[in-house]
Amino acid sequence: MRPWSLRELVQDLRQGRTTPEAASRRALARIAETDAELRAWVDRTAFLPGTGVPLGVKDIIDLAGVPTRCGSTLRAEAAPATSDAAIVTAWRSAGMAPLGKTVTTEFAFFAPGPTRNPAALGHTPGGSSSGSAAAVASGQVPLALGSQTAGSVTRPASYCGVASLVMSHGRYPSTGVTGLSPSLDSHGVFAATAADLALAWSALTGDSAREPRPPRILVWSADALDVVEAPMRHALTQAAKRLREAGATVEPFRDEQLMVELTAAHPVVMAYEAARERSAELAVAERLSAPLAQLLRAGAATSADEYETARATIAEGSDRLADVFDVVLGPAAPGAAPHGLEATGNPVLSRGWQALGLPVVTVPGFTDAAGLPLGLQLVGRHGGENELLGHACWAERVLAGDS
């Protein structure tokens, strides 16, 4: 299954080789052809006609006229949303046409939905933005929206073999999004390549990706977390070598202990805030999956002192990193997508960066010996999406042998 290039679609639209209506029909045909097997969409009867670039919307994000079910039986009878989430309004203004809702895990936590990985149907597509990642990876749509609280965009992009952008925390309002942790939740988007992400970002913001040369790259091995598998470690080493040979200044990321501390602080903040953000669901925890019920109960039992201590660790980490890097290169997941659909994989390699609220681009391109995708993440400065996307486009070309 091959992703659908946004850049190629936009060129075809500009040169009159296709029309928005034809693009919408192509998306619907591709969904009809593949989704019985992939199950990336929540409700195939709810697809909306579109007159722009076909867009998938994760089912925790309000889309006018469609229920927001959040992957939960508690929302099975939810009424259609009466208006779009603010982020959907922004993407519509950029020329995107939402086609419908894509599968999420239960309230964007760990209980998986039915989606399968287009790269290997017996392997998880990751979570929680599993439907959006699979929809892009299979060529159903060229762009799909996700969200990330721990590793919900970066990990599925790596597993499914597509590119993704996690925006800086707070870059766009969260109005109309069913959240989990207000200080951690961030918007995300999937596309076939980093170049496609840059094009989409330009349409969304009016800004263009900036590409300073040569970039200064700090390589984060994540050795201190002791989770990175050999094929992913090899991919990271090879990427760093190629980028250095292409002219980048490549140095090791030395503050491994800081990332250990941030990675430990993240779940404390997440649980504490989730118990309060999802207090209605906590009240009926017996009707939730075991992982979500455990998160909310753990958060309710977390003291204010524990929460403030974790927040202080994150604030200190932000100060320590403020002036020491332009972009960090690291593994996007411990390895390739694990076999089985009962779990969504480990988000640990995103927790520290997500705690800091930094923008992250996942760059695809590597595979393991079995041909399963391995993604690498590039982390930028807060609010530095333009520069980060420029670095990612350059890195993508180098790693593909095009530069």
Read off the amino acid at residue 146: G
What residues does 61 pair with on adjacent strands?
Answer: 177
DSSP state of 127: S
d(CA 107, CA 83): 20
E strand or H helix that includes residue 303: none
The catalytically annotated residue of 24, 58, 138, 289 is: 58
Q: How many CB atoms lie within 10 A of CB 30?
A: 18
- CA dist 8 and 81 (Å) reads 33
Nearest to 217 by CA among 195, 190, 249: 249
What DSSP line would sit under 338-358, residue for residue? PBBSS-----HHHHHHHHHT-
The contacts of residue 231 (CB under 8 Å, 6+ apart) are 335, 336, 368, 369, 374
Find the catalytic residue in 130, 132, 147, 152.
Answer: 152
Distance CA 59, CA 48 (A): 14
Helix, coil or strand: residue 163: strand
From the list 5, 128, 129, 147, the catalytic residue is 128
Distance CA 363, CA 380 (A): 13
Q: CA 186, CA 383: separation in Å to the nearest integer?
A: 12
At residue 195, what is the residue type? Answer: A
128 is an active site residue: yes
Q: Which amino acid is at 311?
A: R
Question: Coil, helix or strand for 216?
Answer: strand
Token pair for 328: 């960090």
Does the annotation mark 101 as catalytic?
no
Active-site annotation holds for 58: yes
**Rounded CA gap, 117 and 133, in Å?**
9
- Phi and psi for 63 in degrees, rounded to 5? -130, 120
CA distance 238 to 88: 38
Could you list the active site residues?
Answer: 58, 128, 152
